[in-house]
Every structure is written in structure tokens, then in C-alpha cells.
Amino acid sequence: MSQAIAIFDFDGTLIAGDSLLPFLERVAGKRRARYALVRSVRAALMRAGRGKGGDVRTQVKEGLLARTLKGVPEEKARAVAAEMGSWVRWHNPIRDTLLRHADQGHHVVVATGALALYMPSLLEGLPVNHLMATEMEVVDGLLTGRMCHGGNCVRDEKARRVQDYLSGQGPFSATYGYGNRPSDLPFLAMMHHPTIVPTVSRRGSDKKQQQAG
């Protein structure tokens, strides 16, 4: 008997905000990470202005990762990841949806552009069967600052990985997808039951917590 599958985006969908910069700030220091972000944005925009193609957001991410993670021991990065749990602000309606799918025996997948370096720590305790995330290259125990194994797991690349997984692990009786727009629309278009989640910001989540307190 075939099984249903539920695929969830992470940043802005399962949690409030984006996890990448907070992780990099903890690895490289807040000042260095913020400066690296500014330099990466500037460099990507200059390339775009010269007519050099490519996804600007991915170019920014490439520059940011190179400037903050190159030469960092993988062991240090994973140790930082283990301390990220207190940063997470769950988007409880979608987290509860994930738990309901698991309770129904559905196969649960998280597909995210966040780094595989820290995602297992943030998902610890959740009934997730499989993770698709952005992999970082490691040579002799040191991060090179380069993405590998397909690169940035967002938009079309995320959709490609989802399609490969569905083909390799299926057939599935029903496919459910949860993500925010516009970056998750390519993979959501494949789902029998797509749900577009309004992007959950960190600031909005913190305000709600303060009001509830």
C-alpha cells in the first residue's frame, strides 16, 4: 500500500525568520558576518549590473558563505549548530501540521536552502524521515566555503531534488507541500495538496510572544 508524503520548507515556514545569518554570526562573529553580507550583496549587484547572469540571491549566498566559513573546522561549525536550539521560534501552526502528518503515518521531509551543517540540530526531536538541505564542501576537516552536491537547495534546485526523491522513493498515494512564496512555488507546483504559507518574520513572531506574555 502506497504512503502519503508531506514536504515542508523550513525558514519562514516551519520557523520564524531565516536561520543562515544567525548561524554564521555565531561561527564568524556578528560584526564579520554582517560585513560579509554587505560585501556579498554589493558584489552580486555589481555582477548583475555588468550583465553577468545567474541568480542574484544565490550569488549573495555564495559570497557570504565563502567570506564566513572558508577555513572553519567542520567540528567547530557543528558545535555551534548544537547551540542554536534556543534561537528557534517555531511557527506552531505549521509545526503542529507536521506532527499531525507524522501521527497519520505519512512520510515527512524537510526541504530547505538552510545548511545541512546545522539543520539536524534544529530538527532534533521532530519526526522527520528525510532532510534536503544545502551541503557545504569539506576538505581535510575544514570548510572550503563552497556549496556542493547540487549547490543551493532553493527554487528550481529544491524542486529537482523533490522530484528525484518522489521518483526514487514513491509512488506516494498523496503529496502535501508547505512553503512560502515565491521561492517554494516550483516544488509546490508538483504537490497534490500545496499550501502557501505567509512568510513568518522573526520580528512578527517576537511581537506575538511579547503580547502573549
**CA 132, CA 56: separation in Å to the nearest integer?**
22
**Tell me, what's the pLDDT at 202?**
79
Q: What is the mean pLDDT of the chain?
A: 92
Contact indicator for 89, 206 with CB cutoff of 8 Å: yes
pLDDT single digits (tens) 66-111: 999 999 999 999 999 999 988 999 999 999 999 999 999 999 999 9
Domains of the chain: 3-212 (3.40.50.1000)
Crossing angle between the packed helical segments 30-49 and 20-28, to the nearest 10 degrees: 120
> Helices 20-28 and 56-69: crossing angle, nearest 10°?
20
Q: Report pTM.
A: 0.91
- DSSP code of residue 11: B
Which tens digit of pLDDT belongs to each residue from 148-187?
Answer: 998 999 999 999 999 999 999 989 999 999 999 888 999 9
